Amino acid sequence: MASNDERTLLRARLSREIGTLGIGRPSEVALVYPSPYRAGMSSLGFQTLYRLLHELGIGAHRAFLPDVWEPMALPWPQPRRPILTYEAERPLSSYRVLGVSVAYELELAGLVRLLEGAGIPLLAADRGEHDPIIIGGGPLTFSNPSSILPFVDVLICGEAEDLLPDAVDRLLSHRRRGDAIAAASALPHTIAGEVEPGLWHDIPTPARAGKERVPARSAILTPDTELADMFLIEPERGCSRQCAFCVMRITPDGGMRLVEVEHVLELVPEHAKKVGLVGAAVTDHPDLEPLVASLVESGRSVSISSLRADRLTPTFLRDMQRSGHRTITVASDGISERMRQLLDRKIKEEHLLRAARLVHEHGFHRLKVYEMIGAPGETDADVDELIRFARELASIGRLALTFSTFVAKRNTPLDGQPFLGVKEAEDRLRKIRAGLGGKVEIRPQSPRWAHIEYFLAQRGADAGHATIKAVRAGARYADWVRAFAETPPTPRPLRFGDEAALARRKGRAAERPRKIGLPVLGAPPT
């Protein structure tokens, strides 16, 4: 039985939600997020699918990884307990269909904890007739969905708005488990999980939602999230840029689907006082300035998921300041001009210098810049250039640098590139810290966890099996390294978007798709 403390926490969170759907309504579908509530309810994709299933009359309840199971390194096994849904306080194991969304590689550890803790067989191959059917998806499927395969009965690759309702309907329409899975996996862009250990599937191209499903937007507002009471909506989807390390690279239709400003404004509810504009390239929207201005004039604060240094303008910054922002965050990624060119980042020193001056002139407290170390071809000279240039930026105004370590992702031109190494990354960070002499705030992300992310990003279904071993051993860094060393890798055939491998096979550089005009999506038909 779930403890009274867990039920009390669940009910307290429900009482603070605005927009909750499905309370008191029966459903055989639960949407599951393998991280705690505060992270899951900050996920725009998770909220969008929850809203969509209710709008279509299918309905769904929600469940999350218990807060106490969040730490990466955690003694295992934890006591088994019913993981309850929020809308019905039913255990997950009692549902017919579980929809699981995985955003990034390290959330696989949370998925293992969640399923094992709830008493649901981890592997699709081990589930029986009366176990829930698990359908998986999420952002991770755009790069390497194969690591999820051992845990799901059906996998949807790409944008799930069109496919998930149809898949769920098929799963619920068949009484026999095998028939249901076969019917759902007959849909395009799907895979019928890993039916035997080590089996490799050809990965389909990612699905693309129809324009009537765009924009994604929040269903529920709550103070108990990373983004406290913020209404999330996307003014665009995709990216028209070609950064070599990013899985959101250009697609044949230009990479971005724009939403009209008027339509975005129509969808923001009156009670939403904070609005988050979400997307891979929000600042590339040609009408971002009037959108932000309209939201600010209506008395709302505005946050934006991704700012481009080359897109900042005085008008935009004035409105962001009026919105309550004190810090402006941009990304450099490559640590030198040379590295940014190699990575097709297209951000130059002049853009970052101009951004620093604008941020300072408009009274912001700080400029924060995302940097990435360890990209292929990076040298000590690039590190020296970063130190020199960061000092120059810091002379203009207060500066903070956030560092990640490069992780090669499938479906990018840098697929297969080696990891820098934990010691090498730590040495590089120490050199940067010493070179800046306390003049710049340094916020490094752990190279050790980047190393684990690299294993998960580059390997096949075997990565899922290694995750099980690592979690059961305690999920410390050494446990992960040992688990991957003990797990034979699955063969790795070419798959969608494997540009680097295709280029090597043809003996020439990967061809880049031609940019075309950006489509603008209007309001969906009523």
**Under a CB-based contact definition with an 8 Å cutoff, are residues 109 and 65 in contact?**
no
Is residue 71 pLDDT above 90, yes or no?
no
- What is the pLDDT at residue 251? 55
Instruction: Based on the fold, state whether residues 235 and 185 are members of the same structural domain.
Output: no
pLDDT digits (tens, 9 = 90+) for 404-424: 999 999 878 888 899 999 999
Residue 302, phi then psi, degrees to nearest 5: -130, 135
Q: Does 205 map to a domain?
A: no
Strands 256-259 and 236-238: antiparallel
- More confident site: 306 or 122: 122
- The residue-averaged pLDDT of 307-320 equals 92
- The residue-averaged pLDDT of 281-285 equals 89
Of the candidates 191, 208, 240, which is a domain's last residue?
Answer: 191
CATH classification of the domain holding 27: 3.40.50
- More confident site: 209 or 3: 209
Q: Which domain holds residue 328?
A: 229-458+496-521
Q: What is the pTM of this model?
A: 0.89
Instruction: Based on the fold, state whether residues 245 and 138 are members of the same structural domain.
Output: no
- The residue-averaged pLDDT of 374-400 equals 96
Angle between helices 44-55 and 163-173 (to 10 degrees): 60
- What is the pLDDT at residue 510? 39
Instruction: Based on the fold, state whether residues 289 and 344 are members of the same structural domain.
Output: yes
Instruction: Please give the Cα distance from 334 to 9 (Å, whole number).
Output: 43
CATH classification of the domain holding 429: 3.20.20.70
Q: Does 215 map to a domain?
A: no
Instruction: Please give the Cα distance from 147 to 457 (Å, whole number).
Output: 8
- What is the pLDDT at residue 146? 87
How buried is 98 (Cβ within 10 angstroms: 0-12 exposed, 13-18 middle, 19+ buried)? Answer: buried
Of 111-120, 191-200, 207-216, 471-480, least confident by mean pLDDT is: 191-200
- What is the pLDDT at residue 155? 95
Of the candidates 191, 220, 247, which is a domain's last residue?
Answer: 191
Instruction: Based on the fold, state whether residues 366 and 282 are members of the same structural domain.
Output: yes
pLDDT digits (tens, 9 = 90+) for 147-184: 999 999 999 999 999 999 999 999 999 999 999 999 99
pLDDT digits (tens, 9 = 90+) for 197-243: 655 567 778 888 888 899 999 999 999 998 899 999 999 988 878 78
Instruction: Based on the fold, state whether residues 234 and 131 are members of the same structural domain.
Output: no
Rounded to 5°, the CA angle 478-483-488 comes to: 145
The upper half-sphere exposure of residue 268, i.e. CA atoms within 13 Å in the direction of its Cβ, equals: 28
- What is the pLDDT at residue 50? 97
**C-beta pairs of 78-84 under 8 Å, 24+ apart in sequence:** 78/113, 78/117, 80/116, 80/117, 80/118, 80/119, 81/1, 81/2, 81/3, 81/6, 81/117, 81/118, 82/1, 82/2, 82/118, 82/119, 83/2, 83/114, 83/117, 83/118, 84/2, 84/6, 84/7, 84/10
Residue 409, phi then psi, degrees to nearest 5: -110, 145
Of 28-42, 270-284, 495-509, least confident by mean pLDDT is: 495-509
Write down how long the chain is. 526
Q: Does 482 map to a domain?
A: no
Instruction: Based on the fold, state whether residues 185 and 267 are members of the same structural domain.
Output: no
Instruction: Based on the fold, state whether residues 31 and 161 are members of the same structural domain.
Output: yes
Is residue 142 pLDDT above 50, yes or no?
yes
- What is the pLDDT at residue 242? 78
DSSP 140-162: GGGT-GGGGGGG-SEEE-B--TT
Instruction: Based on the fold, state whether residues 410 and 361 are members of the same structural domain.
Output: yes
- The residue-averaged pLDDT of 322-345 equals 91
CA distance between the termini of the chain? 46
Is residue 2 pLDDT above 80, yes or no?
no
> By C-alpha distance, which of 316, 391, 395 is closest to 357?
395
- More confident site: 398 or 504: 398
Please tell me whether the peptide bond between 77 and the residue prior to it is cis, using omega within 30 degrees of 0: yes
Which residue type occupies 40?
A: G
Q: Does 290 map to a domain?
A: yes
Number of domains in the chain: 2
The upper half-sphere exposure of residue 382, i.e. CA atoms within 13 Å in the direction of its Cβ, equals: 21
Q: Does 217 map to a domain?
A: no
Is residue 258 pLDDT above 70, yes or no?
yes
- What is the pLDDT at residue 5? 82
Instruction: Based on the fold, state whether residues 8 and 72 are members of the same structural domain.
Output: yes
Of 58-72, 192-206, 440-454, least confident by mean pLDDT is: 192-206
Distances (CA, A) of 171 to 105, 123, 141, 193: 27, 18, 21, 14
> By C-alpha distance, which of 132, 126, 127, 152 is closest to 141?
152
**Token pair in block for residue 457:** 């990003």
Of the candidates 129, 162, 191, which is a domain's last residue?
Answer: 191
**Under a CB-based contact definition with an 8 Å cutoff, are residues 370 and 308 in contact?**
no
Instruction: Please give the Cα distance from 43 to 231 (Å, whole number).
Output: 11
Burial 309-321 (b: 16+ CB within 10 A, else e): bbbbeeebbebbb
- What is the pLDDT at residue 513? 38
Strands 301-304 and 274-277: parallel
Q: Does 182 map to a domain?
A: yes
> By C-alpha distance, which of 165, 222, 215, 190 is closest to 31?
165
Q: Does 469 map to a domain?
A: no
- More confident site: 505 or 20: 20
Mean of per-residue pLDDT scores for the chain: 88
Instruction: Based on the fold, state whether residues 162 and 62 are members of the same structural domain.
Output: yes
- What is the pLDDT at residue 518? 37
Residue 132 contacts by C-beta under 8 Å, 6 or more apart in sequence? 92, 93, 95, 96, 97, 98, 120
Instruction: Based on the fold, state whether residues 182 and 275 are members of the same structural domain.
Output: no
Instruction: Based on the fold, state whether residues 440 and 324 are members of the same structural domain.
Output: yes
DSSP 80: P
Is residue 509 pLDDT above 50, yes or no?
no
- What is the pLDDT at residue 227? 87
**Under a CB-based contact definition with an 8 Å cutoff, are residues 360 and 394 in contact?**
no
Instruction: Please give the Cα distance from 243 to 341 (Å, whole number).
Output: 9
Q: Does 105 map to a domain?
A: yes
Distances (CA, A) of 115 to 39, 120, 143, 190, 487: 18, 5, 23, 22, 21
Is residue 134 pLDDT above 80, yes or no?
yes
Instruction: Please give the Cα distance from 385 to 160 (Å, whole number).
Output: 43
